[in-house]
């Protein structure tokens, strides 16, 4: 441990120097605060969803939903996101976003508001500091279609208000495949390059120009962003056209418009600009610091390095967890002083400055009991207050431990994929089983009479076949003995590919390391799984006679029982388990004092498989002398009180694995959904007990290979000291088992057959007619810009005055999105609201009784009255995906959203 570090006054980070700018801001802020400012928090909604405010004249001004995702570079914003967790609990995140042109006063006011909002909400939210261009995955997850950085802002002196929503002329530079950002740039060909995508936004017409070196995923995300601008900012009244930069001659009408606006196109455009190198997904250098004050000086003392344990955190103190090169996290104990808790965010910023970290370094501040998932992932173990033992326990041989005895209804696995995921069970294990062993690097079928016997010197392939929705499903387990040769392990993987090809890529592949067998693998063998430490199972091979063999039996049902060979010594015994001791004369069943009746029953089943010899029951403490002689004499063994070592809850995490930018990288996707699974990439889903590698249909071989290597590296370098033999499951697009799909909300098996590819969406956007925009070419002066005539409308920019709002229409009947095209202008059916034809705000629909709803609203179908954006924010799925769900699932989502 390093000695404590005191940064005294005048040093790199003293109490006084770190607070100077904050005090100045606080002084200004206190003078400008009013009762209206205090009342602002009373309008904060506590329902699930996102709320955004901008700082205008040192006050919080709400941003309308139409402006969500638009951020002015000269401003600071506060974003509150409330999530509905499983059950009735909610969690909240507060982000304050810093524009690159914002003033120190605005930044200070935003930080103070964040602290006060946190206190108003009871101190439970996690606070995040976001810097323009370096936003966290969680922040970006709120804006699935991307972020738009706009010039201007209240304090910067620029025009902050769009006086007319259709009177627009701007060029957006779009970057990113997963997390899309669009920045306003000069409306000129000089802003273009060959590698990126640009949106020329002219109010009623948006032209998307795709650089010749941009890829299909980037093009698709840009189309979605353009449609989002059309639907959210223009009320669906804008037209979208697409120009392929390498095939501009195929779009003469659109190029005519672009030339009118931008001037003659240069013969050469700039080369593609490389994407920024992403931050490291996980750092293998995590340090925990205790932060406190001593005689007016701030003291930062190192407490521990990885792997961290939860007992290091004391409720009376505050700590900084430095995930070096990735993020800085502040943990506030519930019993820490009010001053310490209020200063937490400021201290984190000061710490970053003292360490000379980049200003964009991610900052999270959280209170004891409200820790973020990322923070918990830095710790080897984490226990929630009042947590009870669940179904996901794992244990090590020789340790005092107890398998769970929770029973579950296998029928739930079919009806509820989330149960299948949590239980790691695709079905009740009643399907067909076929087993091969690797012999001379080739496949050799195993006699079914010996199924369930695995030898540590061998490798096996186990093909499990079951039915789901009247279709054959396959799981291919690759079991690797600890004493198998490298050639055998390589041959096992090679033969798995051959079997996979034989079944046209349908099997889900699961790598199983000896001793780390997943639950479903145990269930396949109906409680008769026996693992021999070494030796070979193949015919004709005589394994050396080592005398007595000792097997530790764990399990209470046929779904979770296995017998594992351990050293035949007295020290291997455990008072909480049943052991089988097989000698040349008979087989002893040794019952520890802590074992249960169910365990004894399962041990008898295993004993009948293991040996045909006579069985003798031996109770702990009543062993005959022959028993100890077979074990080489008495020896101390684990006989303390029963200990429960639980596999503690960790939120699942999703990562995108891609080399489409020219280098292989892993990028985390926060608040993930099925729509985040990219057909062109490999995705890694970490559920803590297992790693899933989801392989998209268009992923290349290099990505697939590197994903396997990266998954192993991910485990090896994980700050929590993860088990490197954690099972890795390979899943192909379209062949997902419920153990995978259950981690996603409202999984849609038809997701990739709904016409949402880039080519299909592009075909809906034609450049045949440009009736919504008139470009007067005769009066165009290319030095001053073209004359573009556009029609009226209105919308309020964040923080600015309100003009007439855009008209949002209700799509009755077919509720799927209706993108307007350049050939067929958007049309809308009649609205239930008469002439107004507006969507309703969520607050007038959510958690309201039928009598409280506006006149004419059907209380059973109130989701029909939401805009597409509000619909997806509230229900967590699009209209089209929602319609494909069964009625019971639709009602469940509506209830959770307060629409039922």
DSSP string covering 482-494, please?
TT--HHHHHHHHH
Q: How far is the C-alpha of 399 from the C-alpha of 297, rounded, in Å? A: 46
3-class secondary structure per residue, 85-147? CCCCCEEEEEEEEECCCCCHHHHHHHHHHHHHHHHHCCCCCEEEEEECCCCCHHHHHCCCCCE
Asked whether residue 798 carries a pLDDT value surpassing 70, the answer given is no
The residue among 772 and 394 whose pLDDT is bigger is: 772
Measured between alpha carbons, how far is residue 549 from residues 480, 534, 629, 693, 698 in Å?
Answer: 21, 11, 13, 38, 50
Query: Which pLDDT does position 89 carry in this prediction?
Result: 65
Query: Which pLDDT does position 637 carry in this prediction?
Result: 81
The residue among 813 and 301 whose pLDDT is bigger is: 301
List, for residues 468-486, the tens digit of each pLDDT value.
Answer: 878 889 999 999 998 889 8
Q: Is the dihedral of CA 691, 697, 703, 708 positive or negative?
A: positive
Are residues 536 and 550 both part of a single domain? no
Asked whether residue 29 carries a pLDDT value surpassing 70, the answer given is no
Are residues 509 and 434 both part of a single domain? yes
Are residues 116 and 190 both part of a single domain? no
The strand pairing partners of 692, in sequence order, are 685, 729
pLDDT band at 504 (very low <50, low <70, confident <90, very high): confident
Provide the 10 A C-beta neighbour count for residue 430. Answer: 11
pLDDT band at 407 (very low <50, low <70, confident <90, very high): very low
Query: Which pLDDT does position 399 carry in this prediction?
Result: 34
Are residues 419 and 537 both part of a single domain? yes
Query: Span 496-516, mean pLDDT?
Result: 88
Asked whether residue 761 carries a pLDDT value surpassing 60, the answer given is yes
- Which of 541, 561, 579 is the C-terminal boundary of a domain? 541
Q: What percent of the chain has pLDDT over 70?
A: 74
Residue 829 lies in a domain: no
Are residues 526 and 483 both part of a single domain? yes
∠ Cα 579 582 587 (to 5°) = 80
User: Can you say whether residue 445 is alpha, beta or left, with left for phi > 0 and alpha for psi between -120 and 50 degrees?
Assistant: beta
Domain total for the chain? 7
- Which of 576, 608, 640 is the C-terminal boundary of a domain? 640
Q: How far is the C-alpha of 74 from the C-alpha of 151, rounded, in Å? A: 7
Query: Which pLDDT does position 626 carry in this prediction?
Result: 92
Query: Which pLDDT does position 166 carry in this prediction?
Result: 65
Are residues 254 and 342 both part of a single domain? no
Query: Which pLDDT does position 848 carry in this prediction?
Result: 83
Asked whether residue 823 carries a pLDDT value surpassing 80, the answer given is no
Query: Span 655-668, mean pLDDT?
Result: 69
Query: Span 126-145, mean pLDDT?
Result: 85
The residue among 28 and 554 whose pLDDT is bigger is: 554
List, for residues 244-259, the tens digit of each pLDDT value.
Answer: 998 898 888 899 999 9
* Residue 500 contacts residue 509 (beta carbons within 8 Å): yes
| Residue found by looking up tokens 């350049």 in the block | 822
Are residues 151 and 177 both part of a single domain? no
- SS3 of the chain: helix, strand, coil, percent, to 5: 25, 25, 50
Query: Which pLDDT does position 243 carry in this prediction?
Result: 92
The residue among 272 and 239 whose pLDDT is bigger is: 239
- pLDDT, averaged across the chain: 75
pLDDT band at 764 (very low <50, low <70, confident <90, very high): low
Residue 759 lies in a domain: no
The residue segments making up the domain with residue 361 are 287-378
Query: Which pLDDT does position 453 carry in this prediction?
Result: 93
Query: Which pLDDT does position 875 carry in this prediction?
Result: 83
Are residues 58 and 144 both part of a single domain? yes
Asked whether residue 648 carries a pLDDT value surpassing 50, the answer given is no
Are residues 301 and 257 both part of a single domain? no
Are residues 98 and 146 both part of a single domain? yes
Asked whether residue 781 carries a pLDDT value surpassing 80, the answer given is no
Query: Which pLDDT does position 246 carry in this prediction?
Result: 87
Q: How far is the C-alpha of 614 from the C-alpha of 157, rounded, in Å? A: 92
Query: Span 782-795, mean pLDDT?
Result: 36
Query: Which pLDDT does position 790 carry in this prediction?
Result: 35
With 0-12 CB in 10 A as exposed, 13-18 as middle and 19+ as buried, what is 730?
buried
List, for residues 307-356, the tens digit of each pLDDT value.
Answer: 788 888 888 888 888 876 678 888 988 888 777 777 777 778 888 888 88
Residue 357 lies in a domain: yes
Query: Which pLDDT does position 479 carry in this prediction?
Result: 94
Single out the residue of 93, 89, 122, 112 nearest to residue 23, CA to CA: 112
Residue 776 lies in a domain: no
Please report, for the domain that includes residue 876, its CATH number: 1.10.950.10
pLDDT band at 856 (very low <50, low <70, confident <90, very high): confident
List, for residues 64-97, the tens digit of each pLDDT value.
Answer: 887 888 899 889 999 999 886 654 567 889 998 9
List, for residues 834-850, the tens digit of each pLDDT value.
Answer: 333 457 888 888 888 87
Provide the 10 A C-beta neighbour count for residue 739. Answer: 28
Residue 577 lies in a domain: yes
Query: Which pLDDT does position 546 carry in this prediction?
Result: 67
Residue 818 lies in a domain: no
Residue 616 lies in a domain: yes
| Residue found by looking up tokens 């009042």 in the block | 386
Asked whether residue 15 carries a pLDDT value surpassing 50, the answer given is no
Provide the 10 A C-beta neighbour count for residue 610. Answer: 21
Query: Which pLDDT does position 778 carry in this prediction?
Result: 42
Please report, for the domain that includes residue 628, its CATH number: 3.40.20.10
Q: What percent of the chain has pLDDT over 90?
A: 17
Residue 835 lies in a domain: no
pLDDT band at 645 (very low <50, low <70, confident <90, very high): very low
- Which of 541, 569, 598 is the C-terminal boundary of a domain? 541
Query: Which pLDDT does position 318 carry in this prediction?
Result: 87
Are residues 216 and 191 both part of a single domain? yes
Are residues 419 and 528 both part of a single domain? yes
pTM: 0.51
Please name the helix (run of DSSP H) or strand (run of DSSP E) that holds residue 597, with its range, or none. helix 597-610
Least confident of 462-471, 523-532, 534-543, 734-743: 534-543
Query: Span 484-495, mean pLDDT?
Result: 90
Q: How far is the C-alpha of 337 from the C-alpha of 340, rounded, in Å? A: 5
pLDDT band at 607 (very low <50, low <70, confident <90, very high): very high
């Amino acid at each position: 441990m390093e000695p404590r570090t005191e940064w005294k006054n005048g040093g790199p980070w003293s109490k006084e120097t770190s607070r100077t700018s904050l005090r100045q801001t606080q002084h200004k802020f206190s003078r400008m605060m009013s009762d209206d400012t205090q009342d602002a928090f009373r309008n904060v909604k506590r329902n699930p969803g996102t709320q955004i405010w901008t700082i205008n004249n040192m006050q919080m001004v709400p941003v309308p939903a139409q402006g969500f995702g638009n951020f002015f570079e000269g401003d600071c914003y506060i974003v509150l996101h409330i999530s509905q967790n499983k059950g009735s609990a909610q969690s909240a995140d507060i982000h304050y976003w810093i524009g690159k042109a914002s003033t120190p006063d605005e930044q200070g006011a935003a930080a103070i508001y964040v602290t006060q909002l946190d206190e108003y909400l009871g101190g439970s939210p996690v606070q995040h500091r976001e810097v323009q261009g370096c936003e966290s995955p969680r922040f970006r997850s709120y804006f699935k279609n991307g972020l738009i950085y706009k010039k201007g802002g209240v304090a910067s002196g620029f025009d902050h208000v769009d006086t007319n929503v259709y009177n627009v002329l701007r060029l957006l530079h779009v970057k990113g495949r997963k997390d899309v950002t669009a920045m306003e740039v000069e409306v000129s060909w000089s802003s273009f390059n060959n590698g990126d995508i640009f949106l020329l936004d002219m109010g009623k017409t948006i032209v998307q120009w795709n650089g010749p070196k941009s890829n299909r995923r980037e093009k698709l995300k840009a189309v979605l962003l353009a449609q989002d601008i059309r639907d959210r900012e223009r009320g669906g009244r804008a037209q979208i056209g697409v120009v392929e930069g390498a095939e501009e001659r195929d779009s003469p009408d659109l190029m005519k418009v672009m030339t009118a606006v931008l001037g003659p196109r240069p013969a050469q455009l700039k080369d593609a600009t490389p994407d920024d190198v992403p931050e490291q997904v996980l750092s293998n250098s995590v340090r925990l610091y205790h932060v406190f004050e001593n005689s007016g000086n701030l003291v930062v003392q190192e407490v521990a390095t990885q792997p961290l344990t939860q007992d290091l955190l004391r409720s009376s103190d505050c700590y900084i967890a430095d995930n070096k090169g990735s993020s800085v996290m502040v943990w506030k104990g519930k019993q820490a002083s009010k001053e310490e808790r209020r200063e937490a965010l400021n201290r984190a910023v000061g710490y970053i400055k003292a360490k000379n970290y980049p200003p964009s370094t991610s900052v999270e501040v959280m209170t004891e009991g409200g820790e973020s998932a990322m923070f918990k992932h830095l710790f080897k173990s984490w226990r929630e207050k009042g947590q009870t033992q669940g179904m996901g326990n794992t244990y090590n041989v020789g340790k005092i431990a107890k398998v769970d005895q929770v029973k579950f209804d296998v029928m739930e696995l079919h009806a509820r994929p989330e149960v299948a995921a949590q239980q790691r069970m695709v079905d009740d294990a009643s399907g067909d089983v076929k087993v091969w062993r690797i012999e001379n690097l080739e496949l050799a079928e195993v006699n079914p009479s010996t199924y369930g016997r695995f030898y540590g010197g061998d490798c096996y392939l186990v093909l499990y076949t079951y039915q789901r929705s009247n279709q054959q499903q396959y799981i291919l387990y690759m079991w690797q003995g600890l004493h198998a040769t490298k050639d055998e392990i390589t041959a096992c993987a090679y033969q798995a590919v051959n079997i996979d090809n034989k079944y046209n890529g349908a099997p889900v592949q699961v790598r199983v390391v000896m001793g780390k067998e997943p639950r479903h693998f145990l269930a396949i063998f109906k409680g008769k799984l026996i693992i021999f430490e070494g030796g070979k199972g193949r015919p004709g091979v005589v394994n050396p006679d080592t005398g007595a063999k000792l097997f530790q039996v764990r399990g209470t049902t046929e779904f979770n029982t296995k017998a594992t060979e351990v050293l035949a010594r007295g020290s291997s015994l455990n008072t909480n388990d049943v052991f089988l001791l097989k000698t040349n004369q008979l087989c002893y069943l040794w019952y520890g004092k802590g074992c249960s009746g169910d365990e004894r029953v399962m041990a008898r089943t295993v004993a009948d498989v293991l040996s045909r010899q006579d069985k003798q029951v031996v109770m702990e403490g009543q062993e005959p002398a022959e028993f100890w002689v077979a074990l080489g004499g008495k020896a101390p063994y684990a006989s303390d009180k029963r200990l429960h070592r639980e596999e503690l809850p960790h939120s699942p995490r999703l990562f995108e694995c891609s080399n489409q930018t020219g280098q292989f990288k892993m990028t985390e996707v926060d608040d993930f959904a099925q729509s985040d699974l990219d057909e062109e990439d490999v995705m890694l889903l970490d559920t803590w007990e297992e790693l899933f590698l989801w392989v998209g249909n268009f992923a290349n071989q290099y990505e697939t290979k590197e994903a396997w290597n990266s998954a192993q590296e991910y485990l090896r370098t994980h700050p929590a000291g993860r088990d490197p033999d954690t099972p890795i499951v390979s899943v192909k697009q379209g062949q997902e088992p419920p153990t995978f799909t259950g981690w996603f909300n409202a999984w849609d098996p038809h997701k990739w057959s709904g016409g949402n590819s880039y080519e299909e969406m592009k075909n809906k956007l034609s450049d045949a007619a440009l009736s919504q925009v008139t470009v007067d070419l005769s009066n165009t002066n290319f030095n001053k810009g073209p004359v573009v005539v556009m029609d009226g409308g209105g919308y309020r920019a964040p923080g600015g005055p309100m003009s007439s709002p855009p008209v949002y229409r209700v799509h009755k009947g077919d509720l799927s999105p209706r993108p307007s095209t350049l050939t067929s202008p958007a049309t809308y059916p009649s609205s239930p609201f008469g002439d107004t034809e507006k969507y309703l705000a969520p607050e007038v629909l959510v958690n309201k009784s039928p009598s409280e709803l506006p006149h004419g609203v059907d209380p059973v179908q109130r989701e029909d009255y939401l805009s597409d954006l509000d619909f997806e924010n509230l229900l967590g799925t699009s209209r089209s995906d929602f319609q494909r769900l069964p009625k019971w699932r639709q009602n469940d989502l509506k209830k959770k959203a307060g629409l039922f």
